[in-house]
Amino acid sequence: MSSGRDETMRYRAHFAVWNEIVRAREPAWMQAQREAAFARFEALGFPTTRQEEWRFTNIAPLLRASFHLATTPAPLPEDDWLTPYRAWGAHHLVFANGHFVGEVPANGHPPRFFARGIRALLQEAPHLVEPYLRRPVEELPHAFIALNAAFLTDGAFVRIPRGAVVREPIHVLFLALGQQEPLIVHPRNVIVAEENSQATIIESYVSLDDSHHFTNAVTELIVEENAVVQHYKVQREGRAAFHMAAVRIAQARMANVFDFSLALGAALARTEITAILEGEGADCTLNGFYWARDQQLVDHHTVIEHVAPHGTSREFYKGILDDAARGVFDGTIIVRPGAQKTDARQVNKNLLLSTEALVNTNPRLQILADDVKCSHGATIGHLDEEALFYCRSRGLDAEMARELLTYAFASDILQEIAFEPLRRRVREWVLMEWPDGERLTEML
Amino acid sequence: MNGAALLEIRNLRVRVEGQEILKGITLTVRAGEVHSIMGPNGSGKSTLAQVLAGREVYEIVEGEVLYDGEDVLRMSPEERARRGIFLAFQYPVEIPGVSNLYFLKAAVNAVRKSRGLPELDAMEFLALARERAKLVELDESLLQRAVNDGFSGGEKKRNEIFQMALLEPRLAILDETDSGLDIDALRIVAQGINALRHPDRAIILITHYQRLLNYVTPDVVHVLYDGRIVKSGGKELALELEEKGYGWIAEGVIGSVRT
Ligand SMILES: Nc1ncnc2c1ncn2[C@@H]1O[C@H](COP(=O)(O)OP(=O)(O)OP(=O)(O)O)[C@@H](O)[C@H]1O
Ligand SMILES: [Mg+2]
């Protein structure tokens, strides 16, 4: 598709503008790295549906839109946009259109971790982030990641020091606010959990209005030996938004990661999660829930790569597709030759609520070691007619019965959200989408 | 006894997936009565029960069903429920993530609302649920659990009777609620059924065994065979069936068809 190539041209102008702005405020290696990334992006061009990885996800609507680079943070509105998250007792790092605008610490003791905006660090203390920004992710042959690396708007740098147990969740909140022009932002987050540390990170992408915008995010999670990390990605962008995100997880020996991806918003949303279990005995859980309606397209591509022996991975994704929505789930498990005694399980279950809704689910196993346990399963189903009848025979009307059973389908995956205040919120967000939401909320 | 006809089934013929399952059922049940329907596997007992409750997969070929004088076949399942028809399922459905208590509160309030009664709040409902749970000796922990989710077979059956006790139907159809129960559970279920017996209500007990009928005495016993009621009688008929099986009836039916 040549239009993809033409599109890359548009970004050249952005790139010049952005370089002008940040040149004096970042070290030379960053400059060079961004230049290289942009060259890589130009060489790659945007993906097309002829590429296996993008077969079911046509980004043409994204290419048709003409985005402007968000070079400054937008002023935040007067109303309290933090309200939905107050009960979390979290430490909030807030970004407006991709730029760091401030933090709201959790009450009480000073934080036992280090957190700053990446752009501020690149200007003031680049040596602190250098080891984490000069990593293989910068070299990946992936157009959107290259684009993110080329621009690198801003993002959170969080380091949990060795042995620290951080109880309060660290909430990295990306707020999108409409401006005159549709905006594009390229957030980059780096989370480092040092040896024996423990933390919960919540990464939220939220629109404060229904503007057109494009979020192209990359998050790196570096989880060192025996560290325990819960990472939630909460995507609730507006229905006119485009959302591309890559989450790259590297796990050292005995590192334990629980990752949950929630995808409720955007017109077109794709999240790619890659977990590499580099150290022996690493434990990785990738869970997720997606719910798409109208014309939404929601895509999850996950890769779990077992490199070392005795690794465990559990993957459980559930999705609900309604109206003319499309879902894509692509889950790869790779077991490298040395990764004996790997124990990997993957399950993807989908519920279609309309005849037009569609989902493509594709499990892939590449097992190159012989002493391993691997399993996968995928299902696509409709609401059970008998269960609907059961509810109605108890006096519930048809609509209520449908909503109740849809909720029942989602209940076990939502139960996986270990951080209870978030679980409660997510349940509300899901229920409130329905006309009978309030009645349902009372019931559950 | 022998009040007004609460349910009148006239020449009901029902088809599913192109196959006729009920081949002309005629049955009248009066308020205050308990009818038992017995019959071999696949004879159409559950089909009849589900058609009465409004399951849409069944195609009505012919006949009519009047409930309280009204054409019930035109009503949605929820409307029938709200008007007092209750079906205890042979295989109760599991609904994960939805607590039994809240599910039933919604059910009870849907019924109350349609009858112009004020809805019960959480406290009022809890009090009612506790009282009715006692009746069927349902462990209170089952109220908090998800509907039938991970319940044992016996717990599911008891939960059905518990629902019946809460919804106080006028016409209760119990589809093999006694099957698979040990004698203690059976006695409890029977107790629940007897508690519901009332001159204004009618009960249809679908069963394979006369065991339950030791505890709940039916007014009439019907034999359903190959989609037809081929014999009706008093409670002695149940004993006879238990003793001799359905073979002799089959012969009778085939015989009568031949002659
Ligand atoms: N939804 C359906 N789809 C296809 N066939 C059905 C359906 N429901 C019932 N049948 C068929 O209709 C016949 C009667 O079934 P039904 O369940 O009514 O029998 P039953 O008397 O309740 O049997 P049992 O004693 O085993 O419960 C059977 O042959 C069954 O396979
Ligand atoms: Mg049956």
Tally the residues of chain A: 444
- Of A104-108, A237-241, A415-419, B75-79, the poorest mean pLDDT is in A104-108
pLDDT of A8 reads 76
> Which of A155, A184, A290, A185 shows the shortest CA–CA distance to A236?
A290
pLDDT of A5 reads 61
pLDDT of A51 reads 94
Task: Name the pLDDT band for B177 (thresholds 50, 70, 90).
Answer: very high
pLDDT of A365 reads 95
Q: Which of B57, B82, B89 sits opposite A390 (nearest CB)?
A: B89
pLDDT of A1 reads 42
Q: What angle do CA A234, A298, A290 make, to 5 degrees?
A: 50
Inter-chain touch A408–B93, beta carbons under 8 Å: no
pLDDT of A178 reads 86
- Asked if pLDDT for residue B258 goes beyond 60, the answer is no
* Cα distance between residue A184 and residue A187, in whole Å: 10
Whether B97 and B146 have beta carbons less than 8 Å apart is answered as yes
pLDDT of A443 reads 67
- Asked if pLDDT for residue B198 goes beyond 90, the answer is yes
Burial A115-139 (b: 16+ CB within 10 A, else e): bbbbbebbeeebebbeebbeeebbe
Residues with CB under 6 A from ligand 1: B 16-17, 21, 39, 41-47, 57, 90
DSSP H helices, chain B, are 45-53, 77-82, 100-114, 122-135, 141-144, 153-167, 183-196, 236-244, 247-258
Cα of B42 vs centre of ligand 2, distance in Å, is 7
- Asked if pLDDT for residue A418 goes beyond 90, the answer is yes
- Chain segment A148-201, per-residue pLDDT in tens: 999 999 999 999 999 999 999 999 999 999 888 899 999 999 999 999 999 999
Residue A314 burial (10 A CB sphere; 0-12, 13-18, 19+):
middle
- Asked if pLDDT for residue B257 goes beyond 50, the answer is no
Measured between alpha carbons, how far is residue A187 from residues A33, A69, A394 in Å?
A: 16, 12, 50
Between B78 and B136, residue with greater pLDDT: B78
**Ligand having the closest approach to the CA of B48:** 1
> Which of A112, A99, A223 shows the shortest CA–CA distance to A170?
A112
pLDDT of A77 reads 85
ipTM: 0.95
Residue A219 burial (10 A CB sphere; 0-12, 13-18, 19+):
buried
* Cα distance between residue A371 and residue B145, in whole Å: 40
- Asked if pLDDT for residue A7 goes beyond 80, the answer is no
> Which of A242, A310, A302, A311 shows the shortest CA–CA distance to A275?
A302
- Asked if pLDDT for residue A6 goes beyond 70, the answer is no
> Mean pLDDT, chain A, as a whole number?
93
CA distance A420 to chain B (A): 15
CA distance A414 to chain B (A): 10
- Chain segment A319-351, per-residue pLDDT in tens: 999 999 999 999 999 999 999 999 999 999 999
Tokens describing residue A329: 């789930």
State the residue for tokens 């016996």: B154
Interface test with B, best of A349, A394, A411 (most B CBs within 10 A): A394
Inter-chain touch A443–B76, beta carbons under 8 Å: no
pLDDT of B259 reads 36
pLDDT of A439 reads 74
> Which of A248, A185, A184 shows the shortest CA–CA distance to A222?
A248
Residue B252 burial (10 A CB sphere; 0-12, 13-18, 19+):
middle
3-state secondary structure chain A: CHHHHHHHHHHHHHHHHHHHHHHHHCCHHHHHHHHHHHHHHHHHCCCCCCCHHHCCCCCHHHHHCCCEECCCCCCCCCCCCCHHHHHHCCEEEEEECCEEEEEECCCCCCCCCEEEEHHHHHHHCHHHHHHHHCCHHHHCCCHHHHHHHHHCCECEEEEECCCCECCCCEEEEEEECCCCCCEEECEEEEEEECCCCEEEEEEEEEECCCCCEEEEEEEEEEECCCCEEEEEEEEECCCCCEEEEEEEEEECCCCEEEEEEEECCCCEEEEEEEEEECCCCCEEEEEEEEEECCCCEEEEEEEEEECCCCCEEEEEEEEEECCCCEEEEEEEEEECCCCCCCEEEEEEEEEECCCCCEEEEEEEEEECCCCCEEEEEEEEECCCHHHHHHHHCCCCCHHHHHHHHHHHHHHHHHHCCCCHHHHHHHHHHHHCCCCCHHHHHHHC
Inter-chain touch A384–B93, beta carbons under 8 Å: yes
Tokens describing residue A228: 């325990």
Mean pLDDT on A344-369:
97
In this prediction the pTM is 0.91
Strands B228-233 and B220-225: antiparallel
Domain boundaries, chain A: 4-279, 385-444
Most confident of A54-63, A138-147, A269-278: A269-278
Task: Name the pLDDT band for A124 (thresholds 50, 70, 90).
Answer: very high
* Cα distance between residue B204 and residue B52, in whole Å: 11
Q: Is A291 left (phi over 0), alpha (psi -120 to 50) or beta?
A: beta
Q: Is B44 left (phi over 0), alpha (psi -120 to 50) or beta?
A: left
* Cα distance between residue B60 and residue B11, in whole Å: 11
**B144 neighbourhood in chain A, CB within 8 Å:** none
CA distance B121 to chain A (A): 11
Mutual orientation of helices A398-415 and A385-392 as an angle, nearest 10°? 120
Is A412 at the interface with chain B, CB within 8 A?
yes
* Cα distance between residue A232 and residue A419, in whole Å: 9
**Nearby residues of A46 by Cβ (< 8 Å), 6 or more positions away:** A1, A4, A5, A7, A8, A59, A63, A143
**Nearby residues of A215 by Cβ (< 8 Å), 6 or more positions away:** A98, A174, A176, A185, A187, A205, A237, A241, A242, A243, A244, A245
* Cα distance between residue A305 and residue A135, in whole Å: 17
pLDDT of A4 reads 55
CA-based nearest residue in chain B for residue A387: B93
**B114 neighbourhood in chain A, CB within 8 Å:** 395
Cα of B46 vs centre of ligand 1, distance in Å, is 6
- Chain segment A204-226, per-residue pLDDT in tens: 999 999 889 999 999 999 999 99
> Mean pLDDT, chain B, as a whole number?
91
Tally the residues of chain B: 259
* Cα distance between residue A443 and residue A408, in whole Å: 12
Domains and CATH numbers, chain B: 5-258 (3.40.50.300)
**A396 neighbourhood in chain B, CB within 8 Å:** 78, 106-107, 110
* Cα distance between residue B129 and residue B159, in whole Å: 11
CA-based nearest residue in chain B for residue A413: B97
- Of A434-443, B44-53, B129-138, the poorest mean pLDDT is in A434-443
Percent of chain B with pLDDT over 70: 96
